[in-house]
């Protein structure tokens, strides 16, 4: 079976706007992230402060893609929360980063599912695991989430459910009702694979967001993916801004993806941070080049507990990225990023 990787990202803008007015355009969504206390000009495309995107929720504190993790991210001041989406056997969108389940759930300890462990070919090679699209939603809902980073707290392991996309949207809608607009930065994972097994993601995503009334609630949305074909198919059916995720060597070659920002027709890029930060502490001209082409630059991922070579702390990384002019930053610890951005 041919298995392609798709990473989808939706970028949402706007954090402090009232819950009443829909963000009808990308410009309005981006402008809504600016507040009166913005301390100084930023080198972003809009000149407004960059958005802080809670990467898989506040995933430094909770198992990724869990409702308390998303809620914590909002409480910490994130502008957007990020659900990665995969599909169940019965065609339900659920919030998971991986197509397989063993890294972030207790599936391996569930004897009733022992015979679901199967080998699949992936772009990274053959992998034996439990795969989301071999499970119905009812079965997925019997699993519990786990923290996959060994150094992070496991106090929530075994207690939290796997969230559906509907449930993640409900978190943003509940926040909006309380007057705190938080966007959704939605990534479709592995869309070409899911299409190949009859589980195309485009219509289910569009219909799910429409059914929830995100636009009416004024919730900004970005759609992101590593797969250009998915973004093109999505953009043909939706006006939501789309972000082309980019990964550098060696994975771009492994995935058969060759990114060229001169040819991109998306609203922006979701760049791995090594496109912008060098290991010697200097920065590249990637942001200027992307901005010159009118592309937003969102960058992933800053982690308090894993600063990249050349940077002593996550704060140093964040300062360098903000100075470079990025328009958004995926982070595992939203409170750290909000504090750096806002000069607290």
For residue 110, report the phi and psi dihedrals to the nearest 5 degrees: -105, 105
CB of 330 to Ca ion, least distance (A): 7
Question: Would you say 34 or 276 has its CB closer to Ca ion?
Answer: 276
235-238: Cβ within 8 A, 24+ apart: 235/265, 235/266, 237/202, 237/203, 237/206, 238/206
d(CA 278, CA 293): 22
The listed partner (ligand G3P, Ca ion, none) that binds 270, CB under 5 to 8 Å by sort, is ligand G3P
Question: Would you say 191 or 218 has its CB closer to Ca ion?
Answer: 191
Is 85 in a helix, a strand, or coil? strand
The listed partner (Ca ion, ligand G3P, none) that binds 79, CB under 5 to 8 Å by sort, is none
Q: Which residue is it, tokens 């705190």?
A: 180
Question: Would you say 188 or 338 has its CB closer to ligand G3P?
Answer: 188
Question: Would you say 15 or 188 has its CB closer to Ca ion?
Answer: 188
Select the residue interacting with ligand G3P from 48, 129, 139, 187 (CB under 6 A). 187
The distance in angstroms from the start CA to the end CA of the chain is 51
Distances 267 to 67, 237, 264, 298, 317 between C-alpha atoms, Å: 29, 15, 8, 11, 24
For residue 229, report the phi and psi dihedrals to the nearest 5 degrees: -65, -40
d(CA 330, CA 304): 12
The listed partner (Ca ion, ligand G3P, none) that binds 65, CB under 5 to 8 Å by sort, is none
Strands 221-225 and 8-10 turn out to be antiparallel
The listed partner (Ca ion, ligand G3P, none) that binds 144, CB under 5 to 8 Å by sort, is none
Neighbours of 40 (CB within 10 A): 6
CB of 38 to ligand G3P, least distance (A): 25
Total number of residues shown for the chain: 344
**What element of type H or E holds 305?**
none
The yes or no reply on residue 224 touching ligand G3P (CB under 6 A) is yes
CB of 142 to Ca ion, least distance (A): 25
Select the residue interacting with ligand G3P from 51, 72, 79, 84 (CB under 6 A). 84
Q: Could you say which residues in the range 115-174 bind ligand G3P, by CB under 6 A? A: none
The yes or no reply on residue 270 touching ligand G3P (CB under 6 A) is yes
Q: Could you say which residues in the range 284-343 bind ligand G3P, by CB under 6 A? A: 300-301, 330
Contact 146, 104 (CB under 8 A): yes
CB of 246 to Ca ion, least distance (A): 12
Q: Output the residue with the shortest Cβ distance to ligand G3P.
A: 300
Select the residue interacting with Ca ion from 187, 227, 317, 327 (CB under 5 A). 187
Which region, left, alpha or beta, applies to residue 310 given φ > 0 means left and ψ of -120 to 50 means alpha?
A: left
The yes or no reply on residue 84 touching Ca ion (CB under 5 A) is yes
Site string for ligand G3P, 242-261 (x = CB under 6 A): ---x----------------
Residue 216 tokens, joined:
């009416």
Question: Would you say 288 or 301 has its CB closer to Ca ion?
Answer: 301
d(CA 258, CA 248): 9
The contact set with Ca ion (CB under 5 A) reads: 84, 187
Residues that bind ligand G3P (CB under 6 A): 7, 9, 55, 82, 84, 97, 187, 224, 245, 270, 300-301, 330
């Amino acid at each position: 079976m041919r298995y392609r990787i798709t990473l989808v990202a939706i970028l949402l803008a706007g954090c402090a706007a009232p819950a009443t007015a829909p963000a009808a355009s990308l410009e309005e969504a981006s402008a809504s992230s600016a507040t009166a206390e913005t301390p100084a000009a930023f080198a972003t495309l809009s000149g407004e402060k960059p958005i802080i995107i809670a990467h898989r929720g506040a995933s430094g504190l909770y198992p990724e893609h869990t409702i308390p993790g998303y809620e914590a991210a909002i409480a910490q001041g994130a502008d957007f929360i990020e659900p990665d989406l995969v599909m169940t056997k019965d065609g339900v969108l659920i919030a998971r980063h991986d197509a397989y389940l063993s890294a972030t759930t207790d599936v391996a300890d569930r004897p009733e599912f022992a015979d679901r462990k199967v080998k699949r070919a992936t772009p990274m090679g053959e992998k034996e695991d439990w795969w989301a699209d071999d499970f119905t939603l009812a079965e997925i809902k019997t699993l519990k989430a786990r923290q996959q980073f060994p150094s992070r707290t496991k106090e929530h392991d075994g207690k939290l459910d796997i969230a559906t996309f509907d449930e993640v949207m409900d978190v943003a809608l509940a926040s909006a009702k309380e007057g705190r607009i938080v966007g959704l930065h939605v990534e479709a994972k592995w869309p070409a694979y899911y299409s190949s097994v009859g589980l195309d993601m485009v219509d289910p995503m569009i219909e799910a967001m429409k059914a929830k009334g995100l636009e009416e609630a004024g919730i900004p949305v970005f759609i992101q993916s590593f797969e250009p074909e998915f973004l093109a198919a999505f953009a043909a059916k939706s006006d939501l801004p789309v972000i082309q995720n980019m990964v550098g060597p060696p994975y771009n070659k492994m995935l058969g993806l060759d990114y060229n920002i001169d040819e991109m027709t998306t609203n922006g890029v979701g760049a791995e941070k090594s496109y912008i930060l060098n290991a010697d502490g200097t920065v590249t001209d990637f942001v200027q080049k992307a901005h010159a082409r009118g592309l937003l630059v969102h960058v992933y991922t800053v982690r308090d507990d894993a600063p990249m070579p050349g940077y002593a702390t996550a704060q140093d990384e964040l300062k360098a990225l903000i100075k470079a002019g990025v328009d958004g930053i995926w982070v595992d610890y939203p409170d750290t990023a909000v504090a750096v951005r806002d000069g607290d």
